[in-house]
Amino acid sequence: MIDQHAPDDAPTCDRCGDAFPTADLLALHRGHAHDALSEDERAAFEAAREADTESLRLFRLQALGALVLLYFGFLMAYAVVT
Ligand SMILES: [Zn+2]
């Protein structure tokens, strides 16, 4: 098991004390794990969720592109070999 310690300057949740590598991950944690967010925390959560959603959408498009290329690559290889 890896023993991990957060750096002293890591963003830390003021409600549960968990540390996160980035402020966006802290904002996502607050939005999903805690209730009664302040206006600033709610805005940070919405912005982080929007960025996360966009990043996931881009990853899905890249994965789909890779699968299409792989499929047609194998199809062309099969057509040439046989
Ligand atoms: Zn927390």
Q: How does pLDDT run along the chain (82 residues), one tens digit per residue?
A: 566 777 788 899 999 999 999 999 999 999 999 999 999 999 999 999 999 999 999 999 999 999 999 999 999 999 999 8
Ramachandran region of residue 17, left (φ > 0), alpha (ψ -120 to 50) or beta? left
CA 12 – ligand 1 centroid, Å:
8
C-alpha 34 – ligand 1 centre gap (Å): 6
Q: How far is the CA of 9 from the centre of ligand 1 (A)?
A: 16
The pLDDT value recorded for residue 1 is: 58
Q: How far is the CA of 79 from the centre of ligand 1 (A)?
A: 56
Ligand 1 mean position, distance from CA 1 (Å): 24
The predicted pLDDT at position 68 comes to 98
pLDDT at 6: 74
CA of 22 to the centre of ligand 1 (A): 14
Residue 59, exposed/middle/buried by CB under 10 A (0-12, 13-18, 19+)? Answer: exposed
pLDDT of residue 59: 98
Alpha-carbon span 64 to 21, nearest angstrom:
29
